[in-house]
Structure 1
């Protein structure tokens, strides 16, 4: 059974930095990301929908620039779950939101940096301005992804993170980690 790929791979209007797509998102967080149609799914919705299924795969065939962004976001979700799972008792929704928001703005490597785990599959940004734009885009996307992840983790209203999500905290998509 093959892994699930991004439906945005065939988008003809997508901007790319290196060989990673810059896709529109639905957000109220300020940043350089283009604004998506609020009625349709964006890459963050797709990441959260495909995370649990794709995290079971050790191999992932990259079929386009949106898949490269999907990989980075799935690995980020893994890091978020790992960070939340380190506490003995699950954090409250407010604590989880603060922890993940801090994680989303912490420094992190991008393609082309020496510490980036997937440099073999990613082209570095063409210029310093592209690298800065891509870093700001990823910060904005990571903040929005963290907020939506917290909403999904605590959707049942019990005040504890969903065991169906937290069971994936030790799973490694492609046996990798972003090392956040």
Structure 2
């Protein structure tokens, strides 16, 4: 059974930095990302919907530039769950929100940096301006992923993270981690 790929691979008129798509997102977080229509799914919805299924795969064939952003976001969701899983007790929704928001804005490598774990699959940005734009876009997307992940983790109203999501905290998509 093959892994699930991004439905945004065939999107026309999408900016590409390096070889990653800069896709529109629905967000309240300030940043350079184009704004998506609020009635349609964006890359973050797709990432959270495909996370649990794709995290079971060790291999993933990249079929387009949107798959590259999907990979980075799936690995980031995995790091978020691992971060929440390392706490001694289950964090409240507010604590989880603060912790993951801090994680999303912490320093992290981007394609082309020496410490980026997937450099063999990603092209570095063409210029310093593109590099800074990609970093700002990824910070904005990571903040939005963290906010939406917390909403899904605490959707049942029990005040504890969903065991169905937390059971994936030790799973490693493609046996990789962003190391954040």
TM-score (norm 1): 1.00
In structure 2, distance between residues paired with 1:90 and 1:7: 34
In structure 2, distance between residues paired with 1:88 and 1:50: 28
* Aligned match of 1:82: 82
TM-score (norm 2): 1.00
* Aligned match of 1:62: 62
* Aligned match of 1:144: 144
Q: 5+ residue gaps in structure 2? A: none
In structure 2, distance between residues paired with 1:87 and 1:105: 20
- Tell whether 2:112 aligns with 1:109: no
In structure 2, distance between residues paired with 1:22 and 1:85: 30
For residue 12 of structure 1, report the CA deviation from its aligned partner. Answer: 1.2
In structure 2, distance between residues paired with 1:91 and 1:169: 15
For residue 89 of structure 1, report the CA deviation from its aligned partner. Answer: 1.5
Deviations 1:6-47 (A, max 9, x none): 000000111000000000000011000000000000000000
Deviations 1:56-86 (A, max 9, x none): 0000000000000000000000000000000
In structure 2, distance between residues paired with 1:14 and 1:64: 12
Runs of 4+ in structure 1 over 4 Å off: none
* Aligned match of 1:51: 51
Q: 5+ residue gaps in structure 1? A: none
In structure 1, distance between residues paired with 2:3 and 2:71: 11
Any idea what SS the aligned residue of 1:76 has? helix
Matches within 5 A, 1:29-48: 29-48=29-48
For residue 115 of structure 1, report the CA deviation from its aligned partner. Answer: 0.2
